[in-house]
A and B are shown apart, each in its own frame.
Chain A
């Protein structure tokens, strides 16, 4: 069984927004990489360069009160929910003006007011947590949907199985999106997985449809997102989508990704989602000027966000002692 959605054309202005979203993610993360090499972004960072179509498609399709649960590779999913670049950049730099005031860092981006319910750095942990949000939506009859993004490697941890079964048993409004970029950190997924399609081939075990989509095609991502969000909202339970994609960079930091064959990398670079979509829009009659204007606008915004983040001071010492508990403090004795 494959998905049964009737393909529908994406309207013009939506197409431009999808394009702009991808450009935002790309340009922002290119800057993050530079800033990492320059020592401004410290610790670690996991980029989604090459995988932007997935975050962009879902970001466009989700309702403003839907929830995103992402992994440590979560910059794109955060920005795609409409979070400002500047506080995200400042968080990556460990500054007071950061999205979490410097207390979370690159791997834990969260903005509850945007429905960005967190980035989780323990593989698999957020699948059952997204199930809990979906449980709450169903219990409160709020019509909200939880969307949970994770990698191919995540399908081999126990929490994946527990979460999928749980969501299916209680027919919860959650959409699981496996971004199959063919690699875990440095190991190819097919070397360590019993089936070819790590997510889709397991869908049947939970009574779910087998769905494989081109994760580098933003309009396809947008359509599948719309269809599956609607289905979840209408009470038909969870979906599991496997989106095929590829990361252009290494796993994290400055990893050159040498464990991947050159020909494979080259073939996927050819399938870069952004130039492909740009060409398509031009073919469909969108003017070069309109697309250039978007690129220009985003480029200025990234510069501004960078300057703003650099101008933000480090967090004050007392920030380390805030918000351990609900009273705002850290005191464990009475």
Chain B
């Protein structure tokens, strides 16, 4: 057991998989010598050498194209897209190429790639360096989507992603890099598609993911302490595959569903979760499912504005209290 930051977990995750399998290589802008803009990959170059840890030009299409071509021919490459907003300049490779090639070729081609990226807001970076793009990825058949919320899950889900033969969009919440948690020693692997129950309560189910896990959990503590409302908090951990079973069985027990989502409102993953619960768990519900998300706006830069729009503990508490009346 050791205390590890979410940032340090990135290094440990990559090192764990690169040590185990020399088909794993890692490419990205400023990731090798400089150790990444978030300093999450410092030391990898020294440990694994320039053939496996590679500084690239500012060429997101070439980075991801290289990832794909390498994966099709026997490697298990990992890339960093510095900020997930930058998926905008290489989305063709992700959505049209990586996601569809196995299918179009009738299973001839395997696509074991992992794309790590700093995702989400909270750092006052403004509208082009703060987006939560999980819904873009989730909307494309053929992509798996993981959002670890803890150092342990970051290592474990990353390991599963590297070992998976499908493309995985691996979104690290950049507001969490400095957070710390206890992490067990030795190899960690956490399967994709299994949610984690963060907290159990009988009155309502809060489904969340990524950085919002902490806000949902804090809100649940306060609801319990101050208002006697006891919530279950579920960290989905991956959006594709989506652990529908855990959500449905929790809602069957609590009869209420709330989602806490960092993404803008329209077509957020919560809409999919709500639709599934309404369709398959309608008669277990005692009230309307409620989505708590960032409103459908680009993210503003100023601290006061950003804090106002991304779901906060206060907002989650207030909405759940009101809607549980």
Chain A contacts to B: CB under 8 angstroms = 67, 69, 99-101, 103-104, 108, 110-112, 117-118, 120, 122, 125-137, 139-140, 144, 146, 158-159, 162-163, 165-166, 169-170, 319, 322-326, 328, 330-334
Residues A132 and B243 in contact in the complex (CB < 8 Å), given A118-B109, A122-B92, A324-B103: no
CB distance from A296 to the nearest CB of B (A): 33
Contact indicator B96/A125 (Cβ below 8 Å): yes
Binary contact readout B196-221 vs A (1 if CB under 8 angstroms, 0 otherwise): 00000000000000000000000000
- A103 to B56: give the CA distance in the assembly, Å: 35
Assess whether B104 is in contact with A104, with CB atoms less than 8 Å apart: yes
For the complex, give the distance between the alpha carbons of A304 and B103 in Å. 28
Known: A125-B93, A146-B69, A323-B106. 17 other contacts (CB 8 A): A99-B106, A122-B92, A125-B65, A128-B62, A128-B66, A129-B65, A129-B68, A132-B72, A133-B70, A135-B69, A136-B70, A140-B74, A140-B75, A144-B73, A162-B60, A165-B57, A334-B242
Bound CA–CA A110/B126 (angstroms): 43
CB distance from A132 to the nearest CB of B (A): 2
Contact of A108 among B59, B73, B105, B240 (CB under 8 A): B105
B167 to chain A, nearest CB (A): 10
| Contact assessment for B66 and A131 in the assembled complex, using a CB-CB cutoff below 8 Å | yes
Whether A166 contacts B104 in the complex (CB less than 8 A), given A128-B93, A129-B72, A324-B141, comes out as no
User: Are B105 and A334 neighbours in the complex by a CB distance under 8 Å?
Assistant: no
Q: A129-B68, A136-B73, A158-B61 are in contact. Are A324 and B102 (CB under 8 A)?
A: yes
Contacts A324-B141, A334-B245; A129 near B69 (Cβ below 8 A): yes
| Minimum C-beta distance from A189 to chain B (A) | 22
Interface contact B105-A326, CB-CB below 8 Å = no
Q: Which residues of B are interface residues toward A (Cβ below 8 A)?
A: 25, 51, 54, 56-57, 59-75, 77, 92-93, 96-97, 101-111, 141-142, 164-166, 193-194, 240-245, 276
A-chain residues with CB within 8 Å of residue B276 when the two chains form the complex = 333
B61 proximity list for chain A (CB < 8 A): 128, 158-159, 162-163
- Contact present for A334 and B194 (CB under 8 Å): yes
Please name all residues of chain B whose beta carbon is closer than 8 Å to the beta carbon of A122 when the two chains form the complex: 92, 96-97
Closest to B192 in A: A334
Centre residue among B108, B164, B244 by max chain A CB count within 10 A:
B108
A67 to B107, CA, bound (A): 18
Q: How far is the CA of A213 from the CA of B75 in the complex (A)?
A: 34
Is B73 a contact partner of A125 (Cβ separation < 8 A)? no
Which chain A positions have C-beta within 8 A of B164? 326
For A159, give the chain B residue with the smallest CB separation. Answer: B61
Known A118-B109, A122-B97, A136-B75; judge A333-B70 contact (CB<8 A). Answer: no
Q: If the complex has contacts A118-B101, A120-B97, A162-B61, are A322 and B74 also in contact, measured as CB distance less than 8 A?
A: no
What is the distance, in angstroms, from A312's C-beta to the closest C-beta of chain B?
14
With known contacts A108-B104, A110-B108, A128-B62, A334–B193 Cβ distance under 8 A: yes
- 8 A-B pairs in the complex with CB atoms less than 8 angstroms apart: A104-B104, A112-B105, A117-B69, A126-B65, A129-B72, A162-B60, A324-B102, A324-B141
CB distance from B194 to the nearest CB of A (A): 7
Say whether A133 contacts B69, CB under 8 Å. yes
> Closest CB-CB distance, B205 to chain A, in whole Å?
17
Is B106's CB under 8 angstroms from A101's CB?
yes
Are B73 and A133 neighbours in the complex by a CB distance under 8 Å? yes
Per the bound structure, the CA–CA distance linking A283 and B110 in Å amounts to: 49
The interface residues of chain A lying within 8 Å CB-to-CB of B77 are 132
The CA-CA distance from A104 to B184 in the complex, in Å, is 46
Specify which of A67, A144, A169, A325 lies most central, judged by the most chain B CB atoms within 10 Å of its CB. Answer: A325
Assembled-state Cα–Cα distance A331/B242 (Å): 10
- B54 / chain A contacts, CB cutoff of 8 Å: 170
Q: Are the CB atoms of A332 and B108 closer together than 8 Å?
A: no
A131 and B69 within 8 A (CB): yes
Evaluate contact between B106 and A111: CB separation under 8 angstroms: no
Task: Please indicate the chain B residues that have their CB under 8 angstroms from the CB of A130 in the complex.
Answer: 65, 69
Point out the residue from B104, B141, B241 that lies within 8 Å of A333, measured CB to CB. Answer: B241
* B25:A139 contact, CB within 8 angstroms: yes
Chain B minimum-CB-distance residue to A326? B165
Query: Closest chain B residue to A166 by CB distance?
Result: B62
Q: Name A127's closest neighbour in chain B (CB-CB).
A: B65
Cβ–Cβ contact A169 & B57, under 8 A: yes
